[in-house]
A and B are shown apart, each in its own frame.
Chain A
Amino acid sequence: MPDLGPVLLSLQLAAVTTVLLLVLALPLAWWLATTRSVFKPVAEAVTALPLVLPPTVIGFYLLIALNPQAPIGAFWVSMTGDTLTFSFAGLVVGSIVYSLPFMVQPLQSAFENVGKGPVEAAAMLRASKLDAFFNVVLPQSMRGLITACVLTFAHTIGEFGVVLMIGGNIPERTRVVSIAIFEHVEEQSYAEAHWLSAGMLVFAFLVLIAVYVLNRSWRVRTG
């Protein structure tokens, strides 16, 4: 049996990322689904960028933004005493950026599917916009919401390049499963690499089965 530390760290990272990203993506996806603003295509393109950019590019820019000499990184150090680079918090920030489209796009298409009809109906029954969102739109978007969370969780588990760029390989802090596999292979510890890789393969397969069973009609919308 290999060391389970990286597995726990990966699960923890994925869980925290999914929860935070859900909170951020709900308003963003709702705005994208309902706005008629001329900036909508721009916002959609920005949201889809992590799908097409190499993770090293995202990691590189995050490294520049989050390092303690940069404003954001310095602010974080003054607030928490810890750096954003080469830390768990930094991995969460990186994962949120990297997995953004996997949360936003299924939510956006679920909201677009609900349409404005039920929202107008709710308004005419004295429901405010927020009330209508939580009690009509969200319940009617449940499949999209679960799909978004499952994909975000799985995609975060599978992250490698961004983590390597901004987190490095620090046990118990930034050494997630994908990094651990990379290191095992470097050290030619193939048995450990096999354990973790097979585990990832089974996990990814089960997640995708779950997503397709959940919603057979959902297709990945890529930029």
Chain B
Amino acid sequence: MSGPVSSLTFSLLLERGDFRLRLDETIALDGVTAVFGRSGSGKTSLLRAIAGLDRPAQGRIVFGDDVWFDTDTRRSIKPHRRGAGYLFQDARLFGHLSVAGNLAFADKRSGHQGDAIAFEDVVAATGLSDLLSRNIGGLSGGERQRVALARTLLARPRLLLLDEPLTGLDRAAKREIMPYLRDVPARFGIPALFVSHDIEEVTALANRILVLDDGKVTAHGALGDVLQTLDLGPLLADGTTGSLIEATVTGHDTALGVTQLDLAGTPLSLPLDERLERGRTVRLFVDASDVALATARPEGISIRNILPGQIKAIEKNASRPYADIVVAIGKGQLRARITRASLAELGLMEGLEVFALVKTMSFAD
């Protein structure tokens, strides 16, 4: 049994018909690293290549000191010998076995490596004590993913590969699973790669992020750093766009029901969340449609959150009635979606000082 592994390096070329995934990265294996991108950006292909389920056309995968795959030396460690655990989007429980049978399948084959993970602890951590004797057929979607998570842990993996485990679940099931996914990797000390196309899931679960777009890495680093600079616009689902920006909690006003924050010297108030201790840095998600722009600080207005900034970029498309304005605020940036008519009328241009009026913001994590 080797000690904690510090990094995963891959330089890969994967081809599927017209699609081409070309990557050359080293991931620090520390907590949860999100692999984020639109569907079709190559996230799952990358995860399957790391697991050994698909064979890259060319390249090299190194986990710590172990070379898992190398086309130069014709080395390819079989998937079941890599010691990676894979949580599939569709759970893939074994229907001929009970819940306990599924867990025992993994437990037996793990050789009980890493006594840090005890059977009882996993069952307790995934809340499965009452489900052990149940058949797979009668489980809800959320329960299935919990069984799959427990089963994966009991294989005592050295690396967790989470492939959109929340996609396809309804809202209630997502809420049910989310705390387990957030706590389990840290609790059992297993680094994880978490594939998702949902920025809210990513901000809730990950501390590092690798952004994939069209088969290439467009950003990689600590979640906060990447989100400050990343243009989320093209990566979010169609029709919505927005930005994430960091602010510091300065206090709570229970009488008014607000939590006060500081963003680059500007005070903000958000709906009260007393769990956030003072001094903590939080990420806020701002929908671009909820941001209005003014060229002078407006008076007599109900909007409380008014942020001074400078226009960094203007994106418009002749086929659409609106334009997206990227406004630099402190170290971060906000995206505002306004009509092209307003853009012309206000005479907005790059470098202009403006005020961003934010109607609603929400805590992203």
Contact = CB atoms under 8 A, between A and B. Distances in A.
Given A117-B90, A140-B94, A124 B109 contact: no
Interface stretch (B4-12, B81-89, B169-177, B275-283): B81-89
A116 to B, nearest CB: 9
A140 B53 contact: no
Given A131-B109, A135-B105, A124 B80 contact: yes
Contact of A117 (B92, B96, B151): B92
B155 interface: yes
Contact of A124 (B93, B95, B111, B155): B155
Main secondary structure of the interface of B (DSSP, over half): loop
B236 to A, nearest CB: 30
A118 interface: yes
A140 B96 contact: yes
B94 A127 contact: no
Contact of B105 (A117, A120, A125, A142): A125
B92 A121 contact: yes
A30 B92 CA distance: 20
B155 A125 contact: yes
B88 A121 contact: yes
Chain A contact residues: helix, strand, loop or mixed = helix
Contacts of B93: 121
B79 interface: yes
A189 interface: no
Interface residues of A, number: 17
Contact of B109 (A117, A125, A140): A125
A120 B83 CA distance: 13
A41 interface: no
Interface string B76-116: 00111101111010101111110000000110011100000
B148 to A, nearest CB: 8
B268 interface: no
Contact of B79 (A124, A136, A140): A124
A123 B83 CA distance: 10
A128 interface: yes
Interface residues of B, number: 27
A126 interface: yes
A143 B42 CA distance: 38
A122 B108 CA distance: 12
B45 interface: no
B210 interface: no
A196 B111 CA distance: 57
Nearest to A131: B109
B152 A125 contact: yes
A131 B109 CA distance: 10
B199 interface: no
Contacts of A81: none
Contacts of B291: none
Given A117-B90, A135-B105, A124 B152 contact: yes
Contacts of A128: 78, 80
Interface in A6-56: none
B6 to A, nearest CB: 23
A131 B53 CA distance: 17
B51 interface: yes
A92 to B, nearest CB: 33
A207 to B, nearest CB: 25
B53 A125 contact: no
Nearest to A121: B92
Contacts of A124: 51, 53, 79-80, 84-86, 152, 155
Interface of B: 51-53, 78-81, 83-86, 88, 90, 92-97, 105-106, 109-111, 151-152, 155
Interface of A: 117-118, 120-128, 131, 135-136, 139-140, 142
